[in-house]
Amino acid sequence: MATTERTPAPRVLLGVTGGIAAYKAPELVRRLVERGAEVQVVMSRGAHELVGPLTFQAVSGRRVRDDLWDAAAEAAMGHIELARWADVVVVAPATAHFLGTLAAGLAGDLLSTVCLATTAPVVLAPAMNQAMWANAAVQANRALLEARGVRFVGPASGDQACGETGPGRMAEPNEIAAALLEHTGGLRTQPLKGLKVVITAGPTREPIDPVRYLTNRSSGKMGFAVAAAAREAGADVVLVTGPVSLPTPAAVRRVNVETAEEMCRKVHDEIGGAHIFIGCAAVSDYRPRDVAEQKIKRSAAEMELQLVRSPDTLASVAALPCAPFTVGFAAETHDVEKHAREKLERKRIDMIAANQVGPDCGFDRETNALTVFWPGGELALGEGGKGLLARRLVEVVAERYRAARSVVQSSSRPV
């Protein structure tokens, strides 16, 4: 009788630090166990003030580890054993103090030591007051950790325990669980392996004179997250980006541009042999007709600025004789679905990811909400951190690309 080899259960090491959101951590353990994961909890000293270790032991079925100086465990180099055991390490909640500790490379307790010793992916779910999250030092630590390959899930925006509202809430346990299991299974299949993917990101700048330009509020974070997710999915990724201050994702080839015209030209330079094109960039629709050679002086009470249309990179790629599978983005302030579907049809692209933008969502935020449309279908990807949404988007793009390719192959077969 033939037997089916059982896939080993993913091993998740969950670090819990001393943030008020620690009360959500047992629910995260439960969600992971429901999905078939083995979970080992490591608590910081501060976490003990908020949640008892017996709670975690009850839901995980494993004794909680919390002491770097546990003589019995460390006789066998316990922190190294834990670091090697884990398929993925997640810290939820991750406090501002822990982000700083990890960014500085300090190893003062068991959890920080394991994070430094492991070769497994490390995922952080930050939780702190919105002002702390916005602090320049915390954001610098976040950027440094991301550049080193640490992944972030959240934080989400909303009401906080302190009574304030804003970004800083720990992502919900089900969202964190989904992100973790992608590390241990979902994208290991590498659905884009062997494919070339060209992605655009960020804003463009259209000069008015040598010191002024027209631009928009795009931070480039979503496009960079998509590039990282596509690379993780096995693709050979070229990232054509406008001016942003973001580190290049690992193993991604980056091409820097400034204007819409330059972006269009560079994309067409790179598009040869591409299987998929994803236009995440917020490209300026218009540019000044004339650019002053010298700085315009403040003299007249009024000044007229005449604008002309910029090149449409997305439409021009979709119109190529052997066009790649083309995905656009639609950032809208209102009637999101209506405008997204109109853009899908007008530009004759294969898929479009739409989101609403405004003062509290979209541009320059850590979170986003996307709905994907294609001819005859749609899928809501939900709200969450841009890294998580990027991985979900890449999965959908891979599925639709394979579906489109199978249709083409079927139609080309002789009858």
DSSP assignment string, 142-183: HHHHHHTT-EE---EEEE-TTS-EEEEEPPPHHHHHHHHHHH
Count of structural domains, the chain: 2
Residue 162 falls in the annotated catalytic set: yes
> CA-based angle 392:398:400, to the nearest 5?
105
Phi, psi of 161 (to 5 degrees): -60, -25
322: exposed, middle or buried (C-beta count within 10 Å: 0-12, 13-18, 19+)? exposed
d(CA 15, CA 109): 11
Give the largest Cα separation in the chain, rounded.
Answer: 89
User: Do 275 and 384 reside in the same domain of the chain?
Assistant: yes
255 and 351 housed in the same domain: yes
Give helix then strand counts, H and E, for the chain: 14, 19
Please indicate, yes or no, whether residues 110 and 169 belong to a single structural domain of this protein: yes
Q: What is the mean pLDDT of residues 370-395?
A: 87
Same domain, yes or no, for 270 and 317? Answer: yes
In the prediction, which pLDDT does 2 show? 35
Residues 235, 114 share a domain = no
Residue 355 confidence (pLDDT): 87
Give the model confidence (pLDDT) of 268-282 as tens digits. 999 999 999 999 999
Tell me what percent of the chain is helix, strand and coil, each rounded to the nearest 5: 40, 25, 40
- To the nearest 10°, report the CA torsion of 293, 294, 300, 303: 40
Among 184, 204, 224, the domain boundary falls at 184
How far apart (Å, rounded) are the C-alpha atoms in residues 312 and 270? Answer: 16
Query: For position 386, what pLDDT does the model report?
Result: 79
170 and 223 in a common domain: no
> Does 344 share its domain with 396?
yes
Identify whether 299 is part of a domain.
no
DSSP 251: T
CA 401 to CA 342: how far, in whole Å?
21
Give the tens place of pLDDT for each residue, 378-389.
999 887 777 778
pTM: predicted TM-score of the whole model, two decimal places: 0.61
- Structure tokens of 13? 């090491």
Q: What 3-state class would DSSP assign to 331? A: strand
Per the listing, tokens 């008892």 go with 52
- The answer to whether position 295 is within a domain reads no
pLDDT tens digits, one per residue of 292-302: 999 988 887 88
- End-to-end CA distance of the chain: give it in Å, rounded: 40
Residue 177 shares a structural domain with residue 196:
no
Can you give the pLDDT at residue 264? 98
Residue 388's pLDDT is what? Answer: 75
Give domain status of residue 6, yes or no.
no
Picking from 103, 102, 112, the residue whose alpha carbon sits closest to that of residue 16 is 112
Give the domain CATH number at 74.
3.40.50.1950
In eight-state DSSP terms, residue 248 is P
Q: Does the pLDDT at position 162 exceed 80?
A: no
| Residue 414 CA: distances (Å) to CA of 245, 339, 409, 410, 411 | 52, 39, 10, 9, 8
Is position 298 within any domain? no
Q: Is residue 217 domain-resident? A: yes
Last residue of one domain, picked from the residues 184, 202, 226: 184
d(CA 37, CA 86): 11
The answer as to whether 141 is a domain residue is: yes
Residues 80 and 229 in one domain: no
Gap between the Cα atoms of 365 and 385, Å rounded = 9
Q: Please give the pLDDT value at position 71.
A: 55
CA atoms within 13 A of residue 335's CA, in its CB half-sphere:
5
Give yes or no: residues 272 and 357 share one domain: yes
- Domain ranges, residue 393: 190-287+306-410
Same domain membership, residue 219 and residue 140: no
Residue 135 lies in a domain: yes
Examine the fold and report which residue of 119, 153, 184 is the final residue of a domain before the chain moves on.
184
pLDDT > 60? residue 414: no
Given 162, 264, 280, 322, the catalytic residue:
162
The CA-based dihedral angle spanning residues 253, 257, 260, 266, taken in that order and rounded to the nearest 10 degrees? -50
Q: What pLDDT does 207 receive?
A: 95
The answer to whether residues 267 and 310 belong to one domain is yes
Domain CATH number, residue 270: 3.40.50.10300
Residue 300 lies in a domain: no
Residue 248's nearest CA partner among 237, 259, 258 is 237
Pick the most confident of 26-30, 144-148, 357-361, 383-387: 26-30
> What are 19's two structure tokens?
């943030």
Q: Which pLDDT belongs to residue 356? A: 78
- pLDDT, tens digit, for every residue of 41-70? 999 999 998 999 999 988 888 899 988 766
Q: Of the candidates 228, 234, 253, which has an alpha carbon nearest to the alpha carbon of residue 389?
A: 228
**229-267 confidence digits (pLDDT tens):** 898 888 999 999 999 988 888 789 999 999 999 999 999
**Reduced to 3 states, what is the DSSP secondary structure of residue 126?**
strand
Q: How far is the C-alpha of 13 from the C-alpha of 167, rounded, in Å?
A: 26
